[in-house]
Amino acid sequence: MRNTLIILSVVLIVLTLGSCKKEDEWKLPTDVGFSMDVNRSYSSNGKLVFTSGIITLASFDFEGERAQGDDVYFSKSFPSGLNISFNSKSVISQLDFDIPQGTYTRISIAFSTLDDFDDNNIVVNGNYTNSSGTDYPIKFEFKSGEYFDIVAEDYTGGSEIVLDKDLTESVFIQLDPIHWFQIISTTLLDNADLVNVNGIQTIVISEDVNDNIFDLVVDRLDESMETVFKSY
């Protein structure tokens, strides 16, 4: 009887230690770097392309559901705004978080822009070739607060994402101004008012200039966004 109790005690100790070890394993942080950019592809008719811009974040949220260990949630707020230049190769150091490793069955990324009517919180720059073949710079400017929320994918398009402490993970968030402008006809853009910007005639799309185009574009801001995780 005594031997049986000893064996049971040893088994319980081993199981407990194994459980603690596993639990600690799922708390180990991974190296994850976030970057943001815009879709730089040409529109389907080849007349419109976007190449640069900025976004000013007020908040950034990460929510992950794991197959092992507890679910993960963290949030950062930026009361004065976090200014980010769109660049797929530039890691945003302010979005550096300790994200526990594990198999995530779902990851949701959400962020909002600063609601500041004195400054533009989203600016996207590009080029438009009108029906006469003349090129004009195009600039979209947005001052209001906007909320973006999307379920992330891995690089193959799957929703299950594995974060490993021994691998570096890059997370690419892309906004899609080509999609925003997809419903804008060439007639509207050809007839848009031009503004002198640093001595260059420019198509400015904002609350104050070409507001008929602006209103249509704003309704699509949170559409066609993607967030992709890739290990290397």
Cα 120 to Cα 216: distance, rounded to the nearest angstrom: 18
Q: Is it the case that residue 38 has pLDDT exceeding 90?
A: yes
Confidence of residue 1 (pLDDT cuts 50, 70, 90): low
pLDDT in tens, 165-175: 999 899 999 99
**Cα 34 to Cα 171: distance, rounded to the nearest angstrom:** 5
pLDDT in tens, 74-111: 999 999 999 999 999 999 999 988 899 999 999 999 99
Model confidence band, residue 27 (pLDDT cutoffs 50, 70, 90):
low
Task: Dump pLDDT digits (tens) for 144-157.
Answer: 999 999 999 999 99
DSSP characters over 31-61: EEEEEEEE--SPPTTSSEEEEEEEEEEEEEE
Q: What's the whole-number mean pLDDT along residues 27-51?
A: 94
Residue 6 has pLDDT above 50, yes or no: no
Please give the Cα distance from 116 to 121 (Å, whole number): 7
> Distance (Å, rounded) from C-alpha 209 to C-alpha 46?
24
pLDDT in tens, 121-147: 999 999 999 999 999 999 999 999 999
pLDDT of residue 13 exceeding 70: no
CA distance linking residue 154 with residue 150, whole number of Å: 13
pTM: 0.86
Of 164, 38, 170, 171, the closest CA to residue 109 belongs to: 171
What is the residue-averaged pLDDT of the chain? 89
Name the strand (E) or helix (H) holding 1.
Answer: none
Distant-in-sequence, close-in-space partners of 188: CB < 8 Å, separation ≥ 6: 212, 213
pLDDT at 25: 67
